[in-house]
């Protein structure tokens, strides 16, 4: 009738049946259209008005929804009360929601347990974790054995970082239902969050006993195996997901990382090359960085350069990629270009916690270049920046000591040389130490080399 341009009529119950079927099938393609038709035909029908409220809440038009709810003036209807409380919470009116809940408690309404089960997750999804916890505890005071509230308590504790308490609650849930796939999965995730990978793996194994087809749990288990340095076993778990459309190219970069830890660069190269050739979904900096490492380790130098250029076009301000570019310039003897690239990182890139180590690497590499060029003061400035944020950065104190020695400051030389480890002094080869301009050899540097060669453990000598 729509296609023929004719007026369509359904009675209110038929409209409700249609809307219910959309909700059950989770297909809302025609939901708005059918509801609009129903409201035109039956504007005062309470069931359709409640559906209209639900739609407004779904569209996050909470003020309109609350206004419509108030106009209905219907008491004792569970759907209306649930929607009212959700709107109040979403609008930041938790105090009003709490008062209304207390009124429902006083009236001894029959659906009070449903109220707590519904609103506690809503508060959690809104990020109102303190209010959610308050609501959970209020609900548990009336329904101490309610599983939904206990599950919400577990998620709430996880969201607020109280992992140990969350684990305790999760174990109680498992005691109540030892065959719960969801609870075992949650327990594994919680253990992994606190770095207890052995217990996490055990929990994921129990989860997979309940349902051995869940790819997400397998990925989590493989991750824990990887973090536990069991790379071969991680590869076996990842391999189970190869050939499954939603997982094949998702796990290949993860498998490549495991192969890198096993020094199997050829296999890692094959996996990453296949991933980058067949999908752009995992075209990420980490994928390119690992691929570049594989190219370098397998002597694919031209491909390494081309890949680096491609990666920098996609991620022009990524610290690690820019750092690799600077290293490439350094290896080619292009010191000016290397310094410009490293200085660009320091001047323009604001690293987050993930890349803070790269900032130290950048300063250290820049200092090495300045030291090799004989620009001692500039080199020292960068070494001290490294030490300021990373006092135990390998070789930083040793290189700073050399700079001070070149500048004739023996007091600062001693200050830094005594903070070097024995192994650093043993490993030092002096590749970045420039000769003095007046001669091919520096007496001070020769003194250092003599000191190093004798490997004296008494660093005050």
- Max mean pLDDT among 23-32, 181-190, 415-424 falls in 181-190
Q: Is residue 168 part of a domain?
A: yes
* DSSP assignment of 357-405: HHHHHHHHHHHHHHHHHT-HHHHHHHHHHHHHH-TT-TTHHHHHHHHHH
- Dist CA 394 CA 373 (whole Å): 21
Q: With contact defined as beta carbons under 8 Å apart, do 386 and 367 qualify?
A: yes
pLDDT at 422: 78
Give the residue among 120, 177, 114 at the shortest CA–CA distance from 154: 120
The interaxial angle of helices 147-159 and 112-125, nearest 10 deg, is 20
DSSP H helices, 107-162, are 112-125, 129-142, 147-159
Tokens 């540097």 found at: 445
User: Quick check: helix, strand or coil at residue 78?
Assistant: helix
Q: Is residue 195 part of a domain?
A: yes
pLDDT at 140: 95
Q: For the ranges 1-15, 216-230, 423-437, which has the lowest average pLDDT?
A: 423-437
Question: With bands split at pLDDT 50, 70 and 90, how would you rate the model's confidence at 344?
Answer: confident
Tokens of 76: 């004792």
Q: Is residue 387 part of a domain?
A: no
Q: Is residue 369 part of a domain?
A: no
Q: What are the backbone angles phi and psi of residue 417, rounded to the nearest 5°?
A: -65, -30
pLDDT at 447: 61
Q: Is residue 350 part of a domain?
A: no
**How does the average pLDDT of the chain come out, rounded?**
87
pLDDT at 451: 59
* Close Cβ partners of 295 (under 8 Å, ≥ 6 residues apart): 269, 301, 303, 304, 307
Q: Is residue 290 part of a domain?
A: no
pLDDT digits (tens, 9 = 90+) for 55-72: 899 889 999 999 999 888
For the chain, the domain total comes to: 1
- Dist CA 461 CA 272 (whole Å): 52
Q: How far is CA 99 from the centre of its chain?
A: 38
Burial (0-12, 13-18, 19+ Cβ within 10 Å), 203: buried
pLDDT at 352: 57
Residue 8 reports pLDDT greater than 90: no
The range of the structural domain enclosing residue 182 comes to 161-228
- Dist CA 41 CA 63 (whole Å): 25
Q: Is this prediction's pTM over 0.75?
A: no
Residue 441 reports pLDDT greater than 60: no
Q: Is residue 207 part of a domain?
A: yes
- Max mean pLDDT among 224-233, 241-250, 391-400 falls in 224-233
pLDDT at 440: 46
pLDDT at 392: 87
pLDDT digits (tens, 9 = 90+) for 156-203: 999 999 999 999 999 999 999 999 999 999 999 999 999 999 999 999
Tokens 């009336």 found at: 142
Question: With bands split at pLDDT 50, 70 and 90, how would you rate the model's confidence at 76?
Answer: confident
Tokens 């729509």 found at: 2
Q: Is residue 203 part of a domain?
A: yes
CA angle at 335 for the pair 334 and 336, rounded to the nearest 5°: 95
- Dist CA 59 CA 35 (whole Å): 14
* DSSP assignment of 214-250: -HHHHHHHHHHHHHTT-HHHHHHHHHTTTT-TTTHHH
- Dist CA 220 CA 58 (whole Å): 32
- Sign of the C-alpha dihedral computed for residues 60, 62, 64 and 68 taken in this order: positive
CATH code assigned at 195:
1.25.40.10
- Dist CA 461 CA 456 (whole Å): 8
């Amino acid at each position: 009738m729509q296609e023929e341009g004719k007026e369509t009529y359904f009675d209110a119950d038929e409209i409700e049946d249609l809307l219910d079927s959309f909700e059950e099938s989770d297909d809302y393609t025609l939901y708005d259209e059918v509801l609009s038709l129903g409201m035109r035909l039956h504007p005062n029908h309470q069931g359709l008005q409640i559906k209209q409220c639900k739609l407004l809440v779904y569209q996050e038009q909470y003020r309109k929804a609350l206004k419509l709810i108030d106009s209905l003036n219907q008491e004792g209807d569970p759907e209306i009360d649930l929607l009212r409380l959700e709107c109040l919470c979403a609008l930041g009116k938790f105090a009003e929601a709490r008062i209304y809940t207390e009124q429902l408690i006083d009236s001894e309404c029959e659906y009070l347990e449903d109220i707590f089960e519904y609103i506690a997750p809503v508060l959690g999804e809104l990020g109102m974790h303190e209010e959610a916890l308050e609501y959970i505890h209020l609900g548990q005071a009336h329904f101490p054995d309610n599983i939904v509230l206990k599950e919400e308590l577990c998620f709430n504790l996880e969201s607020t970082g109280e992992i140990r308490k969350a684990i305790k609650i999760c174990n109680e849930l498992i005691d109540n239902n030892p065959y719960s796939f969801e609870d075992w999965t949650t327990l594994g995730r919680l253990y992994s969050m606190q770095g207890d990978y052995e217990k996490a793996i055990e929990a994921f194994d129990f989860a997979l006993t309940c349902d051995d087809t869940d790819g997400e749990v397998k990925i989590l288990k493989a991750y824990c195996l990887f973090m536990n340095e069991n790379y071969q076993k991680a590869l076996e778990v990842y391999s189970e997901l190869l050939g499954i459309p939603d997982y094949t190219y998702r796990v290949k970069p993860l498998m490549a990382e495991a192969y890198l830890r096993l020094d199997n660069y050829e296999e890692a190269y094959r996996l990453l090359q296949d991933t980058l050739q067949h999908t752009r979904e995992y075209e990420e900096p980490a994928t390119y960085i690992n691929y570049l490492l594989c190219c370098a380790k397998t002597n694919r130098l031209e491909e390494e350069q081309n890949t680096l250029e491609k990666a920098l076009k996609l991620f022009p301000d990524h610290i690690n990629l820019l750092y690799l570019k600077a290293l490439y310039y350094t290896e080619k003897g292009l010191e000016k270009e290397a310094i410009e690239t490293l200085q660009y990182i320091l001047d323009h890139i604001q690293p987050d916690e993930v890349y803070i180590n790269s900032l130290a690497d950048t300063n250290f590499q820049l200092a090495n270049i300045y030291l090799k060029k004989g620009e001692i003061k500039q080199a020292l400035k960068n070494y001290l920046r490294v030490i300021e944020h990373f006092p135990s950065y390998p070789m930083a104190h040793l290189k700073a000591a050399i700079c001070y020695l070149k500048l004739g400051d023996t007091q600062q030389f001693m200050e830094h040389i005594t903070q070097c480890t024995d192994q650093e002094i043993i490993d030092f080869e002096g590749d970045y130490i420039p000769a003095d301009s007046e001669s091919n050899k520096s007496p001070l540097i020769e003194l250092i080399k003599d000191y190093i060669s004798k490997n004296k453990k008494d660093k005050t000598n």
